[in-house]
Structure 1
Amino acid sequence: MTAESARTATVEGVWDLTIATPIGRIKAAVTFRREDEALAGVASGAGEDVPLRDIAVDGAQVTWKQSVTKPLRLNLAFTVHVEGDTLEGTSRAGRLPASKVTGTRRTTPARVAE
């Protein structure tokens, strides 16, 4: 862990995730934003948008829960480590084996002042 990641992770923004599951790789986008001093978020993928629950940041570790209905109805729990604009970790669905998660934060072009 670097000195940068030892501090509290900054997760706000849009992240493109890849989840390596037993049924293949699943792509999703997760958006984290601040609302009233707390983190809120939504995950988008497989034709659905689902809210994130129980988002917590502990140093470089970020955890959250979400439910999905596609490709299967599952309750997922994510644990990832953020370092700069990349993350990696796992997603668990109940008793199923953990799936590897990797992601990169989307960068947006700087706006030109008018």
Structure 2
Amino acid sequence: MSVEGTWDLSMSTPIGRIKAVAEFRRENGALIGTARGAGEEVPLDNVALDGDRLTWKQAITKPMRLNLDFAVTIDGDTLAGISRAGRLPASKVTGERRHEPESP
């Protein structure tokens, strides 16, 4: 299962739908990544792929300071799962992998 690439994410949260972009890549054999959204870019921590299950953690400051835990299932070029922020209810997460246009 390959997760490398750029993913457009959508999260249904108590404060509304939030869009973000996550990028995953391998570096020295380890899966790493970054996320962009709400005017900030943050590193992803503890990125792990177990079969089709992808998990990671990230800290954000916008729209408020939160530590998020993600757990999603990859199905080809789509993903679906949840994000948790402490004691807050889980938020539904969906995403689609971006495909770069082929060079002529």
SS at match of 2:22: strand
* TM-score (structure 2 length as normaliser): 0.98
Match of 2:103 in 1: 111
Residue 23 of structure 2 is aligned to residue 31 of structure 1: yes
Shift of residue 111 of structure 1?
2.0
Question: Which runs of no fewer than 5 residues in structure 1 stay unpaired?
Answer: 1-8
Residue 45 of structure 2 is aligned to residue 63 of structure 1: no
1:71-112 alpha-carbon deviations (Å, 9 max, x no partner): 010000000000000000000000111000000000011123
Cα distance in 2, alignment partners of residues 35 and 95 from structure 1? 33
Question: Which runs of no fewer than 5 residues in structure 2 stay unpaired?
Answer: none
Match of 1:73 in 2: 65
Give the number of the structure whose residues are more often strand, by fraction: 2
CA RMSD of aligned residues (A): 0.6
Cα distance in 2, alignment partners of residues 101 and 72 from structure 1? 18
Cα distance in 2, alignment partners of residues 58 and 37 from structure 1? 15
Structure 1 segments of 4+ aligned residues over 2 angstroms from their partners = none
1:9-51 alpha-carbon deviations (Å, 9 max, x no partner): 3110000000000000000000001100001100000000000
Q: Percent identity?
A: 63
Cα distance in 1, alignment partners of residues 2 and 89 from structure 2? 28
Pick which of 103-112 and 35-44 moved more.
Answer: 103-112
